[in-house]
Amino acid sequence: MHAYYLSTMVGLLRDRKVSEDQLLQGTGLTSIHALQGFGITATQIDRICTNAIALSAEPQFGLRLGSHLNISAQGIFGYALMTSPTVRDALKLLVRYSRAIMPSVAIDVVQREGWVDVLVTATHLPLDLERFYCEVLYAAIIHNGSLLIADQTVMTRLELDYAPPCDAGQYHQVFGPAIAFQAGRCALSFDAASAKIAITTANPIAQDIFRRECDRLASLDRRRGGVSERVQQVLLQAGSEFPTCAAVAQQLYMSESTLQRRLAQEGCRYQQLLDQVRFRLANEYLVETTLPVAEIACLLGFSDTTNFRRSFKRWANATPSAVRRQSFSGRST
């Protein structure tokens, strides 16, 4: 998700002649594309956003960014929100995966008499950065509301804990007339009736699937096995022509030595990951298909069947034929 947010930011800053290199200054990152499949730290995100605030020279850049973030482009997380039953359920899901959105801020949904509040706090951050995150999130919620509830009317009010700008026109354009500055908190509030509005794309079966996948991805993010996970993804997508370590490193926008060093930090080597992928695919071919062993060996990039059998026995402590027989035997009983 972070790659999508940051790519959108790069696009908006391009008309101000701001380069991607300028945006990534001081983060240790070389490309937005290199974020795909990797964990990016909260500190790096904060630095990128701080750079964006300065480089944009636009006091309400957060409002503009939030208004360009489309829920349908946010992958599994976006689908999970779109299939939620009601507005309130979607907001609760936003809290559940808040770390994947804005890891430096605390997002909470609180129900009180007649209202449901979306609260944002980040008192440990510089004021301009806390304000930026607040405005991005709230503008994105409003912008995507029309996609979720079609033409139904929603009553909202916005409270911000800072002084109003000289021209508050952009705030009213995004949020409407009900805005209170210097309110002592940052809160986007929905009246109780609006929070109960059904989402037009609600689908309980799909929502359960998407939410479980979001939980899985969040768990992977917590484990931070980023580089090895991404290498395995590249290998799984390679077909029968598995790339070399150098070729994988190039796809991941790093040198081969950097890739090897980062894998070593995670306690593994490239050849181990390649063997794991080959073993996984070999099992799937043996158990789920009737392909001849010689053809499986070819699909896995082995020069001959003998080498494949030898490697498979080392991985599984059993021959390919024995694994296939055991699988077919288990199905027939």
Please give the full DSSP string across 147-182, using - where no structure is assigned.
Answer: HHHTT----EEEE-SSPPPS--HHHHHHH-S-EESS
Does the structure show a pLDDT above 90 at 3? no
Q: Which stretches does DSSP call E strand in 174-322?
A: 179-180, 187-191
Phi, psi for 38 (deg, rounded to 5): -110, 155
| Residue 310 CA: distances (Å) to CA of 243, 278, 315, 325, 331 | 21, 13, 9, 18, 26
Is the confidence at residue 226, as pLDDT, over 80?
A: no
pLDDT above 90 coverage of the chain, percent? 46
Domain boundary among 172, 205, 238: 205
Mean pLDDT, the chain, integer: 87
User: 26: alpha, beta or left, given left = phi > 0 and alpha = psi -120 to 50?
Assistant: left
163 and 288 both lie in a single domain: no
Residue 173 lies in a domain: yes
Is 125 within the bounds of a domain? Answer: yes
Statement to judge: residues 315 and 252 lie in one domain: yes
Write out the H or E segment, with its range, that includes residue 237: none
Q: What is the pLDDT of residue 27?
A: 79
Q: Does a structural domain hold residue 50?
A: no
Distance CA 45, CA 313 (A): 46
Q: Are residues 110 and 231 in the same domain?
A: no
Would you state the pLDDT for residue 37?
45
Phi, psi dihedrals of residue 152, rounded to the nearest 5°: -75, 150
196 with 245, same domain: the answer is no
**From residue 114, how far is each of 84, 185, 199, 247 by CA, in Å?**
21, 18, 20, 58
35 inside domain: no
CATH number reported for the structural domain that contains residue 308 in this entry: 1.10.10.60
Instruction: Let me know whether 70 and 132 are in one domain.
Output: yes
Question: Does a structural domain hold residue 254?
Answer: yes
Could you tell me where the DSSP H helices lie in 67-203? 75-82, 87-96, 98-101, 127-149, 169-175, 192-195
The pLDDT value given to residue 75: 82
Number of H helices, E strands in the chain: 18, 5
For residues 196 and 143, state if they share a domain: yes
d(CA 21, CA 6): 12
Structural domain total, the chain: 2
Query: Which segment, 250-254, 265-269, 317-321, is predicted with the most confidence on average?
Result: 317-321
Q: Is the pLDDT confidence value at 222 over 70? A: no
Express each pLDDT in 257-289 by its tens digit.
988 988 887 778 999 899 988 888 888 888 888
Q: What is the pLDDT of residues 54-86, one digit of tens each?
A: 999 999 999 999 999 999 888 888 899 999 999
Residue with tokens 């909260």: 42
Cα–Cα distance, 135 to 63 (Å, whole number) = 5
Residue 24 lies in a domain: no
pLDDT digits (tens, 9 = 90+) for 111-131: 988 999 999 998 888 999 999
Same domain as 135, residue 64: yes
Burial of 179 (0-12, 13-18, 19+ CB in 10 A): middle
**Tokens encoding 183:** 């309110």
Contact between 139 and 67 under an 8 Å Cβ cutoff? The reply is yes
Identify whether residues 69 and 200 lie together within a single domain. Answer: yes
Q: Are 125 and 182 found together in one domain?
A: yes
Q: Say yes or no: 179 and 71 in one domain.
A: yes
The domain of 65 spans: 58-205
Whether the per-residue pLDDT at 39 is higher than 60: the answer is no
Whether residue 193 sits in one domain with residue 318: no
Q: Which of 171, 205, 239 is the last residue of a domain?
A: 205
